[in-house]
Amino acid sequence: MFDFDMLGLQPALNDALKRTGFSEPTPIQNQAIPLALEGHDILGLAQTGTGKTLAFGLPLIDHLLAARGKPEPKTAKALILAPTRELVNQIADSLRTLTDGTPIRVVTVVGGQSIGRQINMLSRGTDILVATPGRLIDLMDRGSVDLRTVKHLVLDEADQMLDLGFIHALRRIAPKLGTPRQTMLFSATMPKQMEELSSAYLTNPRKVQVSPPGKAADKITQSVHFVEKPAKPSKLREVLSRDPDALTLVFARTKHGAEKLMKGLVADGYNAASIHGNKSQGQRDRAIKAFRDGTITTLVATDVAARGIDIPGVSYVVNYDLPEVADNYVHRIGRTARAGREGEAIAFCASDEGDLLYQIEKLMKIEIPVASGSRPERGAGERSNRRGPSGGQRRRGGSGGGGKKPAAAAKPASKPASAKRRRPRRGRAA
């Protein structure tokens, strides 16, 4: 372990670290920063909330300060790609804190904001461009950005970019970048696709890992309440009432569900807001700011916020609906117990979510302690999902179902051979 002042960083960076109160690096910073300062490509594996932004941000800024030189119009010297608008803004805010008082310029480009304004900012050129892949492609297509001078590439939360289908955008962006370049890839999990991504875009990378993929922060206390869906609203109010002034982040599965849940809480007198894909960027930014300031104490979100909120004061994360992708559970609960603090993650599990819970526990290699209710039999969720709206057999034409077929369907009338040959084509088209 070292102190930041032992790294030989540019004086302006050392001053910024002291000004912001950073003295000792986190484990991921301890491993990654010296290697990145030497110019190595980095493959970093660490859960959310471990300080990855400084792990790539400090060496990146140090290189740029040493190189000097003003960027040409429409160009950038370094590119950081992140999957969500919230994460882009979070990264940019952290970097601006470190570059305050230096010539280093940081520009963000994300969807949901004026593309004309972003084109105007890029017309002057920038040292660091932080972007979501989709909006960057839009700007490339308009000829508003020239990436040939990019000599540093960072892919943050790369596994989520894969989940959201940004691999195709990355394949368009990467060939436009300058070479040789330093590439740093950071991820909370290491699926097979991530290994392929590393092989394609990193050169002899140094791998740094501070915790096994799928492992939550040590200071997160986890529990699960087995409760059916109709009882979830009252259970949530019970949880919120225990510590009404604490910042609580509540995750719902759908945009409609998050909005409905938030409105119900507000009607009952709770200081609540929501963020999801149907909200404008301005609405999402205002909600997160109010949550950070404590004006709002309960923030209801979909997975759009699972990796885009860096608020050290979040005391509780409630998984009102369990995520359908087990990895997302780890990212969600990583919103608490940040920066060395303690936090609590509370999950609600209905009978048809039992198999989702099983997949989460399998990934994390733990059994989450039960706070109330009884653990459902494994497989109950699958059986429930095969049932129709009334809980009985699916209607005719559904996939699966069981039971006897109606008599009329038992012996279908014979059909011409040509009609039988056409049936597979209809199935594929559907």
pLDDT for position 215: 59
pLDDT in tens, 397-430: 333 333 333 444 444 444 444 444 443 333 333 3
Asked: is 220-385 a CATH 3.40.50.300 domain? The reply is: yes
Domain locations along the chain: 4-209, 220-385
CATH number for region 4-209: 3.40.50.300
> Who wins on pLDDT, 263 or 365?
263
pLDDT of 330: 84
pLDDT of residue 262: 97
Q: What average pLDDT does range 80-103 have in this prediction?
A: 92
Instruction: Please give the pLDDT value at position 59.
Output: 96
SS (H, E, C) the chain: CCCHHHCCCCHHHHHHHHHHCCCCCCHHHHHHHHHHHCCCCEEEECCCCCCHHHHHHHHHHHHHHHHCCCCCCCEEEEEEECCCHHHHHHHHHHHHHHHCCCCCCEEEECCCCCHHHHHHHHCCCEEEEEECHHHHHHHHHCCCCECCCCCEEEECCHHHHHHCCCHHHHHHHHHHCCCCCEEEEEECCCCHHHHHHHHHHCCCCEEEECCCCCCCCCCEEEEEEECCHHHHHHHHHHHHHHCCCCEEEEECCCHHHHHHHHHHHHHCCCCEEEECCCCCHHHHHHHHHHHHHCCCCEEEECHHHCCCCCCCCEEEEEECCCCCCHHHHHHHHCCCCCCCCCEEEEEEECHHHHHHHHHHHHHHCCCCCEEECCCCCCCHHHHHHCCCCCCCCCCCCCCCCCCCCCHHHHCCCCCCHHHHHHHHHHHHHC
- Same fold: 4-209 with 220-385: yes
Q: Say what the pLDDT of residue 217 is.
A: 60
pLDDT for 264-310, tens place per residue? 999 999 999 999 888 887 888 899 889 989 999 999 999 876 566 77
Percent of the chain beyond pLDDT 90?
56
pTM for this prediction: 0.67
Percent pLDDT > 70 in the chain is 83
What average pLDDT does range 377-391 have in this prediction? 47
